[in-house]
Amino acid sequence: MKITVIGSTGQVGSYLTKILSVKHDVIELSHEELDITDFQKTREALFKLKPDLVINTAAYHKTDECEENPEKSFLVNSIAVRNLALTCKDLSAVLLHFSTDYVFDGRKNEPYTEDDVPNPLNVYGVSKLAGEIFVRNTLEKHYIVRPSGVFGRAKKVGKANFIDRMMQLAKEGKSLKIVDDQIFSPTYAKDLAEKISDLIKTEKYGTYHVTNSGYCSWYELAKTALELANIQADLKPVKSEEFPAKAKRPKFSVLENKRLKMIGLKEMRHWKSALK
């Protein structure tokens, strides 16, 4: 299969290109090589490449920044995604688009399945949901993948993730206050990419939750990472109210991988095993 990965130097894109390249013809497009908000250039690039599958990992996902930049959020996460879907339709290509657990409000207090009705609390979540709707209503052959709390190594230098930042700050002797009342399903980018590799073979299109099994708070994730790395740290759990943020976050955005199980794909390993 000829696959184009947009955002190939990010955490998810980096693992996808490495894993998919083993069996497929993969064309990597970094943000520097292709900005999806340039609709004409994006369309021309994809028509030139003629891929069978386009994987879009590009997003504007700095949640608090999105709150102050709704125009940019909707341009990147919604309108540009519509353009990708329309282009894929004209090319008779499949689109795999990444969304987020933040499409849910967290009030259910139990894991969300793909059947649950989204109700995002912030601009980022609303813009990602709008992108999902554009894909669903534009293109029959699509996958929408919702991960949560992604961690892993990126090719792009300087793209530190939450785990790296916590370890670096702890090594510097900084006191760390981490929220313990936002619960989610941490997802290792490598495991996510491997599951995507399995999913695209099925040709069973639709919306999928794809996360490692189990769930925790940001505090528990940081604490576990530091323990595994044998790094001593001054780590304190705090409530979200102690860190007033511009964007509201869901308190419980755990994702149940119901549809993956329905199509016969194995459950992903526990987040602690992946973190180790």
Catalytic residues: 124
- Burial class of residue 47, CB neighbours in 10 A (0-12, 13-18, 19+): exposed
Going by C-alpha positions, the residue among 96, 127, 59, 49 that lies closest to residue 202 is: 96
25 membership: H or E segment, kind and range: strand 25-29
Q: How far apart are CA 152 and CA 246, in angstroms?
A: 26
Q: How far apart are CA 169 and CA 101, in angstroms?
A: 27
The angle subtended at Cα 127 by Cα 106 and Cα 134, nearest 5°, is 110
Token pair belonging to 73: 């959020």
What is the secondary structure of 219-245 as a DSSP string? HHHHHHHHHHTT---EEEEE-GGGS--
Going by C-alpha positions, the residue among 142, 148, 145 that lies closest to residue 195 is: 145
Which residues, other chains included, contact 32 with Cβ-Cβ below 8 Å and sequence gap of 6+? none
